[in-house]
Amino acid sequence: MVYVFLVVLFYAVVSYFEVPRMLKHNMRREFYTFIAVCILGFVLAAGQILDLPLPNVMKGIETVVRPVYKAVEGLLLPPELRP
């Protein structure tokens, strides 16, 4: 439980320094992106600390990237080396 407190403290300190600067300079899009990334990071960090079953991010990335990789590989390889 101490580690969850440290994660909350970390995000609070980072937000303390970053949020006022973004709002002062009217950086609304950056502020919303910052909040979204912080929430995602906090949820993943807390899930790791509490041993919750988290989704495997690599499987999602592989699902998106594999077709692109195959297409580029087919274009770049000479015909005799193509599978």
Distance (Å, whole) CA 81 – CA 79:
5
Which pTM does this prediction carry? 0.65
Specify the 3-state DSSP secondary structure of 10. Answer: helix
Distance (Å, whole) CA 7 – CA 2:
9
Residues 6+ positions from 50 with CB-CB distance below 8 Å: 4
Distance (Å, whole) CA 11 – CA 75:
45
2-24 and 28-49 helices, crossing angle to 10°: 180
pLDDT tens for the 83 residues of the chain, in order: 899 899 999 999 999 999 999 999 999 999 999 999 999 999 989 999 999 998 888 888 899 999 999 899 888 888 777 66
